[in-house]
Structure 1
Amino acid sequence: MAIWDDLTGQSEAIALFQSAAADHPGAMTHSWLITGPPGSGRSNLAFAFATALLAPGTPQGDEAAYRQVEARTHPDLNVLTTTGVIIKRDDVRQMVQRSHYSPSVGRYRVIVVEDADRMTEQTSNFLLKELEEPPERTVWILCAPSEADMLPTIRSRVRTVRLRVPSVAEVAGLIERRDGVDAALAERAARHAQSHVGMARRLATNAEARERRQETLQLALDIRGVSGAVMGAARLVEIAGADGKAITEQLDAEERESTLRSLGVEPGATLPPALRSQLRQLEEDQKRRATRSLRDGIDRILVDLLSLYRDVVMLQLGSGSELVNLELAEQLEALSRHTSAASTLAVMDAIATARARIGSNVAPALALEAMLVGVVRAGSAGRGGVSQPLARREIA
Structure 2
Amino acid sequence: MSVWDQVVGQEAAVAVLRAAVRNPQAMTHAWLITGPPGSGRSNAARAFAAALQCPSGGCGACPACATALAGTHADVTVVATEKVTISIEEVRDLIGIAQRSPSQGRWRVIVVEDADRMTERTSNVLLKAIEEPPPRTVWLLCSTSPQDVQVTIRSRCRALGLRVPPVEAVARLLIDRDGVEPDVADVAARAAQSHIGMARRLARDPDARERRRRTLELVTGIRGVGDAVLAAADLVDVAQAEAKAATEDRDAAERAALLHTLGAEDATRLPPALRAQVRQLTEDQKRRATRAQRDVLDRSLLDLLSLYRDVLVLQLGADVDPVNVEHTDQVRRLAQDSTPEQTLHRMDVIGETRTRLAGNVAPLLAIEAMAVALRPQDGRVGA
TM-score norm. by structure 1 comes to: 0.89
Q: Within 2, Cα distance between the matches of 1:19 and 1:258?
A: 44
Residues 110 and 139 in structure 1, CA contact (< 8 A), matched pair in contact too: yes
Residues 80 and 112 in structure 1, CA contact (< 8 A), matched pair in contact too: yes
Deviation of 1:304 after TM superposition, in Å, equals 0.3
Residues 101 and 108 in structure 2, CA contact (< 8 A), matched pair in contact too: yes
Residues 337 and 380 in structure 2, CA contact (< 8 A), matched pair in contact too: no
Partner of 2:241: 242
Partner letter of residue 12 of structure 2? E
Residues 83 and 286 in structure 1, CA contact (< 8 A), matched pair in contact too: no
1:1-396 matches, cutoff 5 A: 1-22=1-22, 24-55=23-54, 57-61=55-59, 62-249=61-248, 251-252=250-251, 263=261, 270=266, 281-376=280-375, 379-380=376-377, 386-389=378-381
Q: Within 1, Cα distance between the matches of 2:119 and 2:4?
A: 32
Deviation of 1:98 after TM superposition, in Å, equals 1.9
Which deviates more from structure 2 when the two are superposed, residues 134-143 or residues 148-157?
Answer: 148-157
Residues 21 and 27 in structure 2, CA contact (< 8 A), matched pair in contact too: yes
Deviation of 1:280 after TM superposition, in Å, equals 5.5
Partner letter of residue 86 of structure 1? T
Q: Which secondary structure state, in structure 1, belongs to the residue aligned with residue 160 of structure 2?
A: strand
Residues 83 and 285 in structure 1, CA contact (< 8 A), matched pair in contact too: no
Which deviates more from structure 2 when the two are superposed, residues 327-336 or residues 197-206?
Answer: 327-336
Q: Within 2, Cα distance between the matches of 1:112 and 1:170?
A: 25
Q: Which secondary structure state, in structure 2, belongs to the residue aligned with residue 110 of structure 1?
A: strand
Q: Relative to 1, partners in 2 of residues 1:15 and 1:276: Cα closer, same or farther, differing over 3 Å? A: farther
Residues 32 and 161 in structure 1, CA contact (< 8 A), matched pair in contact too: yes
Partner letter of residue 238 of structure 1? D
Which deviates more from structure 2 when the two are superposed, residues 78-87 or residues 41-50?
Answer: 78-87
Residues 39 and 195 in structure 1, CA contact (< 8 A), matched pair in contact too: yes
Q: Within 1, Cα distance between the matches of 2:252 and 2:53?
A: 31
Q: Which secondary structure state, in structure 1, belongs to the residue aligned with residue 9 of structure 2?
A: coil
Q: Within 2, Cα distance between the matches of 1:130 and 1:258?
A: 33
Deviation of 1:72 after TM superposition, in Å, equals 2.7
Deviation of 1:390 after TM superposition, in Å, equals 5.2
Q: Which secondary structure state, in structure 1, belongs to the residue aligned with residue 142 of structure 2?
A: strand
Deviation of 1:141 after TM superposition, in Å, equals 0.3
Unaligned runs of 5+ in 2: none
Residues 239 and 297 in structure 2, CA contact (< 8 A), matched pair in contact too: yes
Unaligned runs of 5+ in 1: 381-385, 392-396
Q: How many residues are matched? A: 379
Partner letter of residue 235 of structure 1? D
CA RMSD of aligned residues (A): 2.4
Which deviates more from structure 2 when the two are superposed, residues 157-166 or residues 122-131?
Answer: 122-131
Q: Within 1, Cα distance between the matches of 2:259 and 2:57?
A: 37
Q: Relative to 1, partners in 2 of residues 1:114 and 1:277: Cα closer, same or farther, differing over 3 Å? A: same
Partner of 1:394: none
Residues 79 and 112 in structure 1, CA contact (< 8 A), matched pair in contact too: yes
Which deviates more from structure 2 when the two are superposed, residues 12-21 or residues 73-82?
Answer: 73-82
TM-score norm. by structure 2 comes to: 0.92
Deviation of 1:97 after TM superposition, in Å, equals 2.2
Partner letter of residue 381 of structure 2? P
- Using the aligned pairs only, state the percent identity: 53
Partner letter of residue 58 of structure 2? Q
Deviation of 1:7 after TM superposition, in Å, equals 2.1
Q: Relative to 1, partners in 2 of residues 1:68 and 1:270: Cα closer, same or farther, differing over 3 Å? A: farther
Partner letter of residue 344 of structure 1? T
Residues 43 and 143 in structure 1, CA contact (< 8 A), matched pair in contact too: yes
Q: Within 2, Cα distance between the matches of 1:107 and 1:246?
A: 40
Deviation of 1:154 after TM superposition, in Å, equals 1.7
Q: Within 1, Cα distance between the matches of 2:64 and 2:262?
A: 28
Q: Within 2, Cα distance between the matches of 1:15 and 1:328?
A: 38
Q: Within 1, Cα distance between the matches of 2:51 and 2:288?
A: 30
Residues 80 and 92 in structure 1, CA contact (< 8 A), matched pair in contact too: no
Q: Relative to 1, partners in 2 of residues 1:136 and 1:25: Cα closer, same or farther, differing over 3 Å? A: closer
Deviation of 1:90 after TM superposition, in Å, equals 2.1
Residues 32 and 142 in structure 1, CA contact (< 8 A), matched pair in contact too: yes
Deviation of 1:68 after TM superposition, in Å, equals 2.6
Q: What is the CA deviation profile of residues 46-91 of structure 1, one whole-angstrom value per residue up to 9, with x for unaligned ones?
A: 1111112223x22115532234334433221222332211111222
